[in-house]
Chain A
Amino acid sequence: MVIKIDEYSDVPIYMQIRNQIVMGISSGELKAGEQLPTVRALALEIGINTMTVSKTYQMLKSEGYIMTDRKNGARVRQQIEKTGIISDENKNELRRIVSEARISGVSKKDLQKLVDEYYAGNV
Chain B
Amino acid sequence: MDLSMDIVLLIIMVPTLLIMFFYEYPSKWSERKFIFGVRNREEFKEEKAVLEIDKIVSKTRKQAIGFMICSFALMGLIMLIPDEMIRMTVLVFFIIADLFIFSIPFMRSNREMKTLKRELGIGSSGTTYADLKSAGTVHALKLTSIIIPNALTAIIFICALIFDLGVTGLSPAPEMTYALTAMTGSFLFTGLMLIPISIMMDHIRNEVISSDSDTNIAYNRAKKKVYADMFVLMSWINTGVVILYAILLFFVNNDMVLIIQMTAYLLLLMAALVILVKKSLAIDKRYRKETNIDVDDDDKWIFGAFYYNPDDRRLNVAKRMGIGGTINMAHPAGKIITIAFAVFIIATLAFMGFVVSLGKSTMKADIVDDTLVCNLVVDHYKIPLSDINDPELCEMKKGFYLSRQVGIGMEPYFIGKFIVNGEPGCEIFLNTETDYYVRFVVKGKTYCISGNSDEETKALFEALKTN
Contacts and interface: CB of A to CB of B under 8 A. Distances in A.
A42 B312 contact: no
Given A2-B211, A4-B128, A37 B135 contact: yes
Interface in B232-268: none
B129 A4 contact: yes
Contacts of B206: 45
Nearest to B211: A2
Chain B interface residue count: which class? 20 to 34
A37 B216 CA distance: 15
Contact of A40 (B129, B136, B216): B136
A15 to B, nearest CB: 15
A22 interface: no
B213 A2 contact: yes
Tell which of B128, B206, B211 has the most Cβ of chain A within 10 Å.
B128
Interface in A23-64: 24, 30, 36-38, 40-49
B98 to A, nearest CB: 34
A44 B314 contact: yes
A42 B205 CA distance: 10
B126 A8 contact: yes
B141 interface: no
Nearest to B206: A45
Contacts, number: 72
A3 interface: yes
B132 A47 contact: no
A44 B136 contact: yes
A44 B208 contact: no
B136 A41 contact: yes
A47 B129 contact: no
Interface residues of A, number: 24
Contacts of B137: 37, 41
A48 to B, nearest CB: 6
A47 B127 CA distance: 12
Tell which of A7, A21, A41 has the most Cβ of chain B within 10 Å.
A41
A45 B131 contact: yes
A24 B131 CA distance: 12
Contacts of A46: 128, 130
B136 A45 contact: yes
Tell which of A21, A38, A42, A47 has the most Cβ of chain B within 10 Å.
A47
B387 interface: no
A5 B135 contact: no
B130 A45 contact: yes
B314 A47 contact: yes
Interface string B189-210: 0000000000000010110101
B311 interface: yes
A88 interface: no
Nearest to A43: B313
Tell which of B126, B131, B132 has the most Cβ of chain A within 10 Å.
B132
A81 interface: no
Contacts of A8: 126
Contacts of A10: none
A5 B128 contact: yes
A2 B313 contact: no
Nearest to A17: B130
B135 A47 contact: no
Given A47-B311, A49-B313, A42 B128 contact: no
Given A2-B211, A37-B137, A49-B313, A44 B128 contact: no
Contact of A1 (B126, B131, B205, B293): B131
A89 interface: no
A4 B312 CA distance: 15
Nearest to A24: B132
Contact of A45 (B135, B210, B311): B135
A6 interface: yes
22 contacts: A2-B129, A2-B131, A2-B132, A2-B210, A3-B132, A4-B127, A5-B128, A6-B126, A7-B127, A30-B132, A41-B135, A41-B136, A42-B130, A42-B136, A45-B130, A45-B135, A45-B205, A45-B206, A46-B130, A47-B309, A47-B312, A47-B313
Give the top 9 A-B pairs by smallest Cβ distance, nearest first: A41-B136, A37-B135, A47-B312, A7-B126, A45-B130, A45-B135, A5-B128, A41-B135, A8-B126
Interface of A: 1-8, 21, 24, 30, 36-38, 40-49
Interface of B: 126-133, 135-137, 203, 205-206, 208, 210-211, 213, 216, 293, 309, 311-314
